[in-house]
Structure 1
Amino acid sequence: MVSLVQAPSMPPTLPQKSLKRDASHLSSPAPESSQSKKLRVAFDDRVDVRIMDDWTAKPLDLVKDEVRSALEGHLRPAADKDDGAYEQLRMVFISAAPSRSHDNGAVSSYTEAPSTALLKKYLVALSGRVSDLKACGKLVHAVLDVNWLGRDDAFVALYVRFLGTLGSAVPGFLRTVLDRIVGHFVEVSSSLGRIPNEPYVPRQQMVARLHNALRYLLRLIPSANSALAESLRGQFPNHRTASRQGYIAFVKNSLKTIEYAPELKAEIQTLITERLVKIDVEVQEELDDLEDEVDEHRVLGLSGLSEAKEDADDSDDDSDADSDSSSEISMTPEENHLRALRDTVAKLDSVLDLLFSHYTPTFASGKMYEVNDAFEHLISQFSTFVLPTYRSRHTQFLVFHFAQMSQAYAERFAGVLLRLATGRSSASNGSLSAAAYLASFIARGARVNKTLIRSIFTRLGNHLDTLRRNYESACQGPNLSRYGTFYAIAQAMLYIFCFRWRDVIMTPDDADVEDYDIFEEGEPEWLPGIKECLTQAIYSKLNPLKVCAPAIVHQFGAIANHLRFMYVIPLLETNKRLRLSSFRSLAAPASRDMGAARRENTLSHQSGEAHHQLDAFFPFDPYQLPKSKKWLEGDYRVWKGVPGMQDDDDDEEDDSSDDEDEEEDEFGDIGDDPEYESE
């Protein structure tokens, strides 16, 4: 390599041979010549030429002079600006990037990338002139594009220090620096660790270097915390376009930053949950559009999903686990759509698994301040993102699981839902859904104790009675749009009764009810006031059994009749002759329930007469995601039939041998059973 240095104007005291070569070699390589042919040169006494065997041998002082000259030339006034040396300096760093091409299309003129040792010298030189880089955006971007992850430890340390110096001295570049680092959260290609003439660096080590760099910057620069939060939000991948590996890797790396940036814990957890809910809703909408239930089961992974290639950070294989071009060629558009949907479900499943893994150590630590803080944050996320979203199906199981870690948390979660469902703003957005969430939590939570069940059931009954007395005098017939809150509370009580009737039977010493003892002592003694409350509500002009979801009404009627709690079969027969649409235009909506009127489309997604009835929306119904469902073992109460009562379509005693899960799934999907649609 040849380096040109301007000699002093004073003539040398001794004769000195100098060489001056044509500068055309800077734009294109010279043609190959035979070994016997000597290099033709021109001589110039003003130029001192030193022949170097390797770029590494270039002295640091010389590199500093080059950098100084390049920056000074670039920073001169427009009339005197000289960017020749500046562009050559940029090319040094462009040559060290994973790709030789730059954003403006320029390509490095070097036949070989500079060595790590030479790059260190350029970094040292730039570090000494960081304040000059404010107006050198293209050069800074070239430096930030350098492949630093795959070089030796000394270079990495120097590079990270340079990033810190740059971010501190020129705050305008801090976000760009963080974006470059966070951009690797999606993928760290194993090829970055295979730089020629450099020791191989495995992927895991490169990922660790990313986090070490962030840790250093956050410790050095006070404003880096907020900038990193913005960068994570801005760089968060689109679940429709990102690969499964890349999406999961980004979430995993984002969660890892909490270890050294606890100040960002709430923001990072919230960001991930917010994006997760969007995926959850999208998946549910897609599943609702599937014509075949078998397709839904295939999409949700009951036929099996490969997890072997999800952990991109743990492997040095760059093959994309999501690509299978050979099979895509032969797929129909419908099959490709189903495959893409299955891939989205896999992302949803894996991110939920990561979140369960993320929160579990905190709850297991026993540090009550941290545990309480984590639980309150889960409730906040639930209230902000999940509760107002009617179609969420899986994200809510995070709070479902951790609320059952103690009775105090179960009471706290149930209390939040109860206040939303029965408070003064009970007709506002989210509150009607809160009644469904509360009913589903009480019904399905395996670790919810009898005391809480009875307390919630009693308080719901009291509120239902209050609403009945407020509405009944002016009521001319059942009307979902006018009395939505009343029907939501009534349906919640019916659903809880179907699952928890054993817990609302009073026994001596408050002992658990055994199925074989139900009729031994004669008429069961029910929780005080409940039977009267439900009877008055059901036989009122509000007629909740006509408006509540037919599947739940049918099940409640059968159980209540069998247990001698209430006999409603004649009322159900009468209701078949009622048309809810005839009551709709009788009067303007009641002022107190205007919110319910505005949310009628949320309360019911049916058409025709069923549009005037509530959906059977109970959000803690069966959880089917294959990878993350392991976290819910022991949390979930499956449907348990009533002793001595058989379903209408049971023809054989042998049917009772069906496994419990099938019974549970059947009740969980009861709202979609066409047998129970309104006539």
Structure 2
Amino acid sequence: MIMSLQEPGTRKRPLSDASPADSKKYKMEPSQIISTESQQALFSDKMYATYVKSALESLDKDPSQVNSLTDKIRFPVSHKEAISLSHFNIVLSSLIANVSRLDNKSCHSLISAILDYSWLELQSSGEVHQRFVELYSQFLGVLVSSYPKHLPDVTNKLMDEFSRFNPAVESKLTHHDILTKIVRYIPTCINSLPQTLQKNFPHHLSSTTSELTNYVANLMKMREYCPEIQFNTWQLIVECCIKLDVELQNELDDLDDDEIDELINGDDVDYMLDSVSSTDNIKALSTKLDSIIQLLLQSTAGSFSDEELNNGNGVALFNTINSLFRSHILPTHFTKSIQFVIFHISQYQPELADSFLVLLIDVAFNPNEILEKRLKAMQYLSSYIARAKNLSRHQVVFIVSYLIGWLNKYIIERECEIADFESRNGARSNDGKSAGGMERFKLFYAAFQALLYIFCFRHQMLSSSDSEWECDLDKFIQRVILAKFNPLKYCDETVVYIFAKIATKLNVCYCYSIIEHNKRERMLQTNGQAIMPSAVGNFKQKQEFLDLEAYFPFDPLVLPSSKKIVSKNYVEWAEVNPSVDDDDEDDSGSGSHPEEENSDESSSSESEDEEDD
């Protein structure tokens, strides 16, 4: 018999050999484990709460405990020594309950650490996280309401984070809930909010598209509960868009329309640019501008209904945008995109379009405005009437009649000045900008060009019958083109050529002979030959008009997302270009606007004239 080498009392039997009854002695139920962990967590939380309470009570004597809390909070969220959310909740709860102690000098660093805490970086979720968001939001509200001196720091923190989240997507964040309460607690804070918003607005070049659009989206959200700063928020957005618009146009100056469209809307670029960085810069600028304008158009879509206009909200918003157009967009040189915001929203209601037209008329025909601004307003007026699809026939005819009335009065009052100028100077002076020169009639030429441009797009509306025209437009144009002002010489060449084609087809007038005469005269001036006698022969540099008057503010938008929205209210050239005869030379208007037509024809005609001469 083989005896065990172990003493019976000390021999250990493997757990696997234990009987079921014995196993129960060693095994704990899951509920017991959870209960134990909960008890440990509860014990830990109670201990931490006691520690925080002790730290606050000993502030005056020994701030070391509060300083220790401050250091824990200042650690990055991902740091292993960073304060846990459960412990942070205890700190926040204790501070809310002991808000009177926060005015202690030793608490300033603690408050600063809490405000600097990157709560947007938290990746956790669940009850603890939700509780933290609630307590953090409550703490900020209590802090500001109890100690208004912390208002700038709190609002700066909240607005600094605007660029990091989209309010329409991340609805769990409570930035706007906190700001709503702050505005309610401290109504006077409204005066300081615009400055804080401006300070934190992302830079238009160094920021990403998402940062800019997030910030703009949050500004749009703010107008829901703080309408008092509506003008300030829109001003910041418009200024940013203008900067992007101008930067983009500077980059696109050397490209033609097809290259621009391919670069912005296409995936491949099959032509050479100065550098790859230039291509990237154009795409970045266009994406930013497109995203912001798209957001503005979408966020205001429901703001101009009958209900919104009747309760005053829609009127206030439109007046804000209309005012910013006058003060910011209109004076800016050659923007191409931001003006489509007012173009689009003004067509929601006839009254809004009327208001916009009144603004343009007021600037264009106001002698107290500077000339450059009046000319720009004239360009906007013609381009808007031509391109805005929702305008009524009455609105179009009214503007045409207004232009005719003003032009007619101008001719009656000032045509004699040309005869006086000729008698004094004859053909000796070549300085069109000299006192009494043709330069002073710039507004007249801009107004007549506006009339021609509108006619090209709206001739169907302006025809009252088969042989009759509204306001006797045909008779008026025939008279003006023969006047001593000779407007066909000083208006944009492309507009003149397109008008001549349409006017000939519709039997309004025939002006090719005048156009050819002006062309030959201009070539003689360019070649330095003797200037042919004419009523306007003393304006040397016709090109000085072209840069300004060739600007059509509502030419087709190149930003793809925004264009898709605007296209519903936009008149394309192909929609209004009249049918042509088979023997016409390539005037079918394949381009989307008249500026794309006849450039080749114009140059070829000049070449033929040179040969004839």
Normalising by the smaller structure, the TM-score range is 0.7 to 0.9
Is 2:462 the partner of 1:530? Answer: no
The match for 1:630 among 564, 573, 593 is 564
Is 2:275 the partner of 1:296? Answer: no
The match for 1:58 among 47, 59, 82 is 47
Equivalent residues in 2 for 1:505-544 (5 A)? 505-507=463-465, 518=466, 524-544=467-487
The match for 1:641 among 577, 584, 589 is 577
2:158 corresponds in structure 1 to 181
Residues 494 and 556 in structure 1, CA contact (< 8 A), matched pair in contact too: yes
Q: Give the distance between the partners of 1:233 and 1:123, measured in 2 at CA.
A: 30
List alignment gaps of at least 5 residues for structure 2. Answer: 1-39, 123-127, 423-431, 527-538, 607-613
Q: 1:120 to 1:543 in 2, by over 3 A?
A: same
2:304 corresponds in structure 1 to 363
1:104 corresponds in structure 2 to none
2:28 corresponds in structure 1 to none
Give the aligned length. 525
Aligned-partner SS, 1:237: coil
Kindly report the root-mean-square deviation, in angstroms, between the aligned alpha carbons of the 2 structures.
3.6
Q: Give the distance between the partners of 2:288 and 2:175, measured in 1 at CA.
A: 23
Q: Give the distance between the partners of 2:541 and 2:179, measured in 1 at CA.
A: 57
1:115 corresponds in structure 2 to 84
Q: 1:119 to 1:643 in 2, by over 3 A?
A: closer
Aligned-partner SS, 1:627: helix
Residues 285 and 391 in structure 1, CA contact (< 8 A), matched pair in contact too: no
Q: Give the TM-score normalised by the residue count of structure 2.
A: 0.76
- How many angstroms does 1:671 deviate by? 9.5
Q: 1:647 to 1:418 in 2, by over 3 A?
A: farther
Q: Give the distance between the partners of 1:647 and 1:288, measured in 2 at CA.
A: 36
- How many angstroms does 1:641 deviate by? 2.5
1:246 corresponds in structure 2 to 211
Residues 386 and 458 in structure 2, CA contact (< 8 A), matched pair in contact too: yes
1:282 corresponds in structure 2 to 247
Is 2:400 the partner of 1:436? Answer: no
Equivalent residues in 2 for 1:238-637 (5 A)? 238-290=203-255, 293-303=257-267, 334-364=275-305, 366-367=307-308, 368=310, 369-425=312-368, 427-475=370-418, 476=421, 481-507=439-465, 518=466, 524-579=467-522, 609-613=542-546, 614-637=548-571
2:149 corresponds in structure 1 to 172
Q: 1:581 to 1:64 in 2, by over 3 A?
A: farther
Letter in 1 for 2:447: I
Letter in 2 for 1:90: T
Letter in 2 for 1:285: N
1:227 corresponds in structure 2 to 192
Q: 1:365 to 1:179 in 2, by over 3 A?
A: farther
Is 2:178 the partner of 1:213? Answer: yes
Residues 472 and 541 in structure 1, CA contact (< 8 A), matched pair in contact too: yes
Q: Give the distance between the partners of 2:370 and 2:483, measured in 1 at CA.
A: 21
Letter in 1 for 2:342: V
What do residues 552-596 of structure 1 show as CA deviations (whole Å, max 9, x unaligned)? Answer: 11111222233222222221122123359989xxxxxxxxxxxxx
Residues 165 and 214 in structure 2, CA contact (< 8 A), matched pair in contact too: no
What do residues 520-543 of structure 1 show as CA deviations (whole Å, max 9, x unaligned)? Answer: xxxx22223433433343223322
Q: 1:204 to 1:374 in 2, by over 3 A?
A: closer
Q: 1:467 to 1:87 in 2, by over 3 A?
A: same
Residues 71 and 86 in structure 1, CA contact (< 8 A), matched pair in contact too: no
Residues 264 and 282 in structure 2, CA contact (< 8 A), matched pair in contact too: no
Equivalent residues in 2 for 1:23-102 (5 A)? 56-70=45-59, 87-95=67-75, 97-98=76-77
Q: Give the distance between the partners of 2:82 and 2:604, measured in 1 at CA.
A: 71
Q: Give the distance between the partners of 1:552 and 1:431, measured in 2 at CA.
A: 20
Q: Give the distance between the partners of 2:495 and 2:321, measured in 1 at CA.
A: 30
Aligned-partner SS, 2:304: helix
- How many angstroms does 1:456 deviate by? 0.8
Q: Give the distance between the partners of 1:302 and 1:647, measured in 2 at CA.
A: 35
- How many angstroms does 1:224 deviate by? 3.4
- How many angstroms does 1:550 deviate by? 0.8
- How many angstroms does 1:204 deviate by? 5.0
2:114 corresponds in structure 1 to 143
Letter in 1 for 2:68: Q
Q: 1:612 to 1:412 in 2, by over 3 A?
A: closer
Q: 1:557 to 1:459 in 2, by over 3 A?
A: same
- How many angstroms does 1:53 deviate by? 11
Residues 209 and 287 in structure 2, CA contact (< 8 A), matched pair in contact too: yes
Residues 130 and 166 in structure 1, CA contact (< 8 A), matched pair in contact too: no
Q: Give the distance between the partners of 1:274 and 1:93, measured in 2 at CA.
A: 38
- How many angstroms does 1:419 deviate by? 2.0
Q: 1:345 to 1:547 in 2, by over 3 A?
A: same
Q: Give the distance between the partners of 2:105 and 2:474, measured in 1 at CA.
A: 76
Letter in 1 for 2:345: F
Q: 1:484 to 1:172 in 2, by over 3 A?
A: farther
Q: Give the TM-score normalised by the residue count of structure 1.
A: 0.69
Q: 1:572 to 1:208 in 2, by over 3 A?
A: same
Letter in 1 for 2:324: Q
Q: Give the distance between the partners of 2:168 and 2:470, measured in 1 at CA.
A: 62
More helix by share: 2
- How many angstroms does 1:55 deviate by? 5.8
Residues 443 and 500 in structure 1, CA contact (< 8 A), matched pair in contact too: yes
Aligned-partner SS, 1:366: helix
Letter in 2 for 1:88: S
2:134 corresponds in structure 1 to 157
- How many angstroms does 1:549 deviate by? 0.8
Of 611-620 and 391-400, the range deviating more from structure 2:
611-620
Residues 48 and 87 in structure 2, CA contact (< 8 A), matched pair in contact too: no
What do residues 455-489 of structure 1 show as CA deviations (whole Å, max 9, x unaligned)? Answer: 11111011112222333222237756322211111
List alignment gaps of at least 5 residues for structure 1. Answer: 1-50, 75-83, 101-110, 190-201, 306-330, 508-517, 519-523, 584-599, 601-606
Residues 234 and 321 in structure 2, CA contact (< 8 A), matched pair in contact too: no
Of 336-345 and 537-546, the range deviating more from structure 2:
537-546
Letter in 2 for 1:234: K
Letter in 1 for 2:160: G
